[in-house]
C-alpha cells in the first residue's frame, strides 16, 4: 500500500495532499444536471438565463481581484473563505422556499467559486516549487483531474438517486463536503514562492499585469480559442444548457446521472495520459482538435435520436475537460509564479463572457422551442473560430517553460 501511495505525484508534499482533497471536494457535484429540477420549480428558462447572467457578472467582477488577493494576501486565506462561502450558499439553497432565497444563494455560490478559481492550481504549483518536488505540475494536475473524475462519478451517481427522491437533497450533500473542506483548509501552509506584501498599488499593478500575460506572444495564439472553446464548454456545463438539452431528449434524473457517471469513468481513465499526449501532438493542434470534437457534438444534438444525444453528451463533456486541462497546463508553464493565480482567474473570467452574453437570449429561445437552432448557431461560431485560428497561426508556436520541469 505504501509503495502504491509513493507513486502518487507530489504525495510527499503536505500541501499537495490537501490539494488532492480540495479537488475531490470541489468536484463532488451532487447537483450535476439535477439542479434544474429545483430551479424549474421557481423559474422559467428565460428567468434562469437572466439569473445565470447576473450571477456570472458578479463572479466575473470577482475573478481577477480574487486572483490578485490570492497572490498578494495568500492563497490559504482565499481558499478558506471560498469554502466557507460555498458551504453557506449550498445550505441556503437546500432550504430555499422562495425564488428570492434561491436567487440570492445562487449569487453567493458564484462568489465563493470565484474566490477558488485559479487559486488552488497556483497553490499547488507554488507548493511544488517551494518543496523542490521532483514532480512537474502537469503530472500533479493530471492526477488531480483523475481525483475530480472519481469525485464526479460518485457524486453524480448519488446525486441522481437523491434527486429522484427530493431535488433539495443533492444541494445538502454537496454542502456537507464543503464543510469538510473548510475544516481541512486550516492545515494548509502558505507557499513562500514570490510572496509580496499587500498594498493597493501592488494590487492594481498585479491585476493589470496578470491580464497582460494572456496577450504575450507565447500565449496570444490561444487567446481567442480560450474565450470561445472554454466559453462554450462553460455555457454547456455550468448554465442551464446541458440539463435543458437532456430534458429535450426526455432524460430523467437517473438517466442524466448515468450519462455523468459514464463520462466520469472515461475521464478518470484517459486524463492521466495527457502528459503523454502532449509529447505526441503540439498544444495548438490539440486545442484545435478538441474544438472540432465540440462542433461534432453540437451537430449530434441536432438529431432526434436519444442514443446519439446520449453519446454526444458524454463526448462534449470529455472534450471540455481535456480542453480546460490542456490550457491550464500551458498557462502554468508560460506564466511567472507571481502572476499565475491572477492569470488563471483572468481566464476564468473571460470564459464566462459567452454565457453572460447569451444566457438571457438562450433562455428565451429554449422557452420558444428553438433549442436545436441555438445549438446550430453555436456550432457555426466555434467552426469559424477554429478556421480563423488555423489561418492566422500557420507558423509553429514557440513556447518557453518558465519554470523548467514545472
CATH of domain 13-392: 1.20.1250.20
Residue 37 is predicted with a pLDDT of: 93
For the chain, the average pLDDT equals 83
Residues in contact with 51: Cβ distance below 8 Å, sequence separation at least 6, in sequence order: 43, 103, 106
pLDDT band, residue 401 (cuts 50/70/90)? low
Of the candidates 145, 154, 149, 146, the residue with the CA atom closest to the CA atom of residue 173: 154
Residue 158 is predicted with a pLDDT of: 95
Do 108 and 196 meet the contact criterion of CB atoms below 8 Å apart?
Answer: no
Q: Note the pLDDT tens digit of each residue in 244-295.
A: 999 999 898 999 999 989 988 888 788 777 878 888 888 888 889 999 999 9
Collapsing DSSP states into helix, strand and coil, what is residue 39?
helix
Collapsing DSSP states into helix, strand and coil, what is residue 67?
helix
Q: Note the pLDDT tens digit of each residue in 64-112.
A: 666 666 766 788 888 999 999 999 999 999 999 999 999 999 989 988 8
Rounded to an integer, the average pLDDT of 192-197 is 56
Residues in contact with 177: Cβ distance below 8 Å, sequence separation at least 6, in sequence order: 25, 28, 30, 155
Count CA atoms closer than 13 A to 398's CA, side-chain side: 2
Of the candidates 138, 399, 376, 389, the residue with the CA atom closest to the CA atom of residue 288: 389
Q: Measured between alpha carbons, how far is 277 from 382 in angstroms, rounded to an integer?
A: 23
Residue 165: enclosing H or E segment and its boundaries? helix 137-165
User: Angle at Cα 369 formed by Cα 365 and Cα 373, nearest 5°?
Assistant: 65
Q: Measured between alpha carbons, how far is 142 from 270 in angstroms, rounded to an integer?
A: 10
CA 346 to chain centre: 13
Q: Measured between alpha carbons, how far is 359 from 336 in angstroms, rounded to an integer?
A: 34
Residue 170 is predicted with a pLDDT of: 96
Residue with more model confidence, 299 or 351: 299
Rounded to an integer, the average pLDDT of 175-196 is 83
Q: Measured between alpha carbons, how far is 246 from 352 in angstroms, rounded to an integer?
A: 22
- pLDDT exceeds 70 at position 167: yes
- Torsion sign, CA atoms 226, 229, 230, 231: positive
Helix axes 231-238, 353-367, angle to 10 degrees: 50
- Domain regions of the chain by residue span: 13-392
Tell me the longest C-alpha to C-alpha distance in the chain: 58
Residues in contact with 197: Cβ distance below 8 Å, sequence separation at least 6, in sequence order: 72
Amino acid at each position: 500500500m505504501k509503495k502504491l501511495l509513493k507513486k502518487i505525484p507530489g504525495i510527499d508534499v503536505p500541501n499537495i495532499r490537501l490539494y488532492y482533497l480540495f479537488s475531490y471536494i470541489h468536484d463532488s457535484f451532487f447537483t450535476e444536471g439535477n439542479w434544474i429540477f429545483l430551479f424549474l420549480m421557481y423559474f422559467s428558462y428565460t428567468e434562469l438565463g437572466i439569473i445565470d447572467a447576473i450571477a456570472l457578472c458578479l463572479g466575473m467582477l470577482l475573478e481577477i481581484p480574487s486572483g490578485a488577493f490570492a497572490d498578494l494576501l495568500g492563497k490559504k486565506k482565499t481558499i478558506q473563505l471560498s469554502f466557507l462561502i460555498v458551504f453557506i450558499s449550498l445550505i441556503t439553497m437546500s432550504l430555499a422556499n422562495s425564488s428570492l432565497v434561491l436567487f440570492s444563494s445562487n449569487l453567493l455560490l458564484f462568489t465563493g467559486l470565484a474566490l477558488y478559481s485559479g487559486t488552488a492550481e497556483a497553490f499547488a504549483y507554488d507548493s511544488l516549487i517551494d518543496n523542490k518536488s521532483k514532480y512537474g505540475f502537469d503530472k500533479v494536475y493530471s492526477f488531480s483531474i483523475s481525483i475530480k473524475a472519481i469525485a464526479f462519478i460518485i457524486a453524480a451517481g448519488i446525486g441522481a438517486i437523491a434527486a429522484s427522491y427530493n431535488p433539495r437533497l443533492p444541494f445538502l450533500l454537496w454542502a456537507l463536503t464543503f464543510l469538510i473542506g473548510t475544516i481541512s483548509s486550516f492545515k494548509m501552509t502558505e507557499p513562500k514562492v514570490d510572496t509580496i506584501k499587500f498594498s493597493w498599488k501592488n494590487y492594481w499593478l498585479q491585476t493589470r499585469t496578470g491580464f497582460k500575460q494572456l496577450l504575450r506572444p507565447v500565449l496570444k495564439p490561444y487567446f481567442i480559442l480560450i474565450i470561445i472553446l472554454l466559453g462554450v464548454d462553460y455555457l454547456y456545463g455550468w448554465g442551464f444548457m446541458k440539463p435543458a438539452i437532456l430534458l429535450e431528449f426526455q432524460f430523467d434524473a437517473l438517466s442524466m446521472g448515468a450519462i455523468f457517471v459514464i463520462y466520469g469513468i472515461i475521464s478518470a481513465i484517459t486524463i492521466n495520459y495527457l502528459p503523454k499526449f502532449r509529447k505526441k501532438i503540439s498544444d495548438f493542434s490539440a486545442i484545435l482538435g478538441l474544438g472540432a470534437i465540440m462542433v461534432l457534438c453540437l451537430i449530434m444534438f441536432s438529431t432526434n435520436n436519444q442514443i446519439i444525444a446520449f453519446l454526444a453528451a458524454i463526448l462534449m463533456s470529455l472534450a471540455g475537460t481535456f480542453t480546460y486541462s490542456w490550457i491550464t497546463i500551458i498557462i502554468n508553464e508560460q506564466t511567472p509564479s507571481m502572476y499565475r493565480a491572477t492569470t488563471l482567474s483572468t481566464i476564468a473570467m473571460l470564459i464566462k463572457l459567452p454565457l453572460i452574453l447569451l444566457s438571457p437570449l438562450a433562455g428565451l429561445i429554449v422557452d420558444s422551442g428553438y433549442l436545436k437552432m441555438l445549438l446550430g448557431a453555436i456550432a457555426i461560431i466555434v467552426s469559424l473560430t477554429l478556421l480563423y485560428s488555423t489561418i492566422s497561426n500557420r507558423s509553429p508556436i514557440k513556447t518557453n517553460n518558465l519554470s523548467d520541469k514545472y
